[in-house]
Structure 1
Amino acid sequence: MLITPEYVFKDVTHITPEFLAGKGIRALVLDIDNTLTADRSQKLPDEVAGWLAQMKEAGIGLTIVSNGAEKRVRPFAEKLGLAYLYRSAKPLPFALMVARRRMGVKRKQMAMVGDQLYADRMAAALYGIPGLMVIPRGPDLGVQVVLKRKWEKRHWQKYYDRGGKTL
């Protein structure tokens, strides 16, 4: 399905190098808001900083792909020392294609990590890569996202109805 999650994690920090290796994943495309940090925050939680260090140590390629403006994305990504793409127009998969080429991996070696089904999950599905969905980190501040969350509920429920678990 384009929208129903494949994998759901309690938090981005629950995605392990072992899980990724088992799926043949060597690179991650990362959303920012409600995935790595709270919506519109420039502060990175300590546990996420540790997780990013663990991923880098394991040799996992990391690139931020966000629909946010450059003034939101650039300072955050530069603070972390990560490559980034802004105004990526997710769910369109074009930014994922650019990120994959920059990281030098095959499509089957990459996954998208995000919290929104209509942006992150759909972009991953349209590009043909796994979507690793996380439970959102904080409250949604934008009206647009709040509306999408209401529409997403049935797709989240389909995941759990078919036996899906939060990892």
Structure 2
Amino acid sequence: MILTPEYIFKTIECIHPDFLAAHGIKALVLDVDNTLTADNSQVLEHTVQAWLDEMRAAGIRLTIVSNNTAKRVRPFAERIGLDWVPLACKPFTIGLRVARRRLGCKKSEMAMVGDQIFADRMAAGLYGCPCLYLMPRTNHDKNKFVLLKRKFEPYWIDKYYQKGGKLYE
């Protein structure tokens, strides 16, 4: 199903290069808010920086694709040294198409990493690439539309577990 996660990770730091290699994933498209950092934060935790360094050392290509504005995404992305696509319009696939061209990989070699079923997971499903769904870093979403969508996410997460899915920690 297009909304049921394929994989659920506790945090982004739980995604390891050996998992990616086993699934043929060579590039990651990363959401920002509640994925790399807390909602609307410019602070990158040291554990996430270490994870980014680990991914780079393993040869995993990385880019940011966010529904947020350039004003929000640019300073964060530039500080951590990643290319970025703002106003991605997820769940539409335009941001993922731009990212794939920049990453120079096949759809089957990239995965979307994000914390929202109705944006990140749905965009990946519509585009035809896997999604590595994350539990949100915080439960302090400020966007009222995101808060509304969050109310419907447990149904799809339960479907994942009913199908035998596990939480990667």
TM class, shorter-length: over 0.9
Residue of structure 2 in register with 1:76 after alignment = 76
Aligned length: 167
Match of 2:65 in 1: 65
Tell me, what secondary structure is at the counterpart of 2:151?
A: helix
Q: What is aligned with 2:154?
A: 153
Q: Name the structure 1 match of 2:113.
A: 113
Q: CA RMSD in A?
A: 0.6
SS of corresponding position for 1:100? helix
- Structure 2: distance between partners of 1:67 and 1:99: 13
Question: What is the deviation of 1:38?
Answer: 0.4
Q: CA deviation at 1:95?
A: 1.1
State the TM-score, normalized to the length of structure 1.
Answer: 0.98
SS at match of 2:28: strand
Q: Deviations over 1:43-79 (max 9, x none)?
A: 0011000000000011100000000011100000000
Q: Distance in 2 between matches of 1:141 and 1:4?
A: 24
C-alpha separation in 2, matches of 1:156 and 1:149: 11
For 1:166, give the aligned amino acid: L
Mapped pair 1:164 → 2:165: yes
Equivalent residue for 2:131? 131
Matches of 1:120 and 1:4, distance apart in 2? 11
Matches of 2:96 and 2:78 in 1, distance apart?
Answer: 19
Distance in 2, Cα, partners of 1:83 & 1:112: 15
In the TM superposition, residue 37 of structure 1 has moved relative to its aligned partner by 0.5
2:91 alignment partner in structure 1? 91
* Cα deviation, residue 87, structure 1: 0.4
How many percent of aligned residue pairs carry the same amino acid? 57
SS of 2:133's partner is strand
Q: How far apart are the structure 2 equivalents of 1:161 and 1:141?
A: 30
Deviations 1:101-141 (A, max 9, x none): 11111111000000000000000001100000011001211
Deviations 1:10-48, CA, capped at 9 Å, x for gaps: 100000000000001000000000001100000001100
Query: Structure 2: which amino acid aligns with 1:68?
Result: N
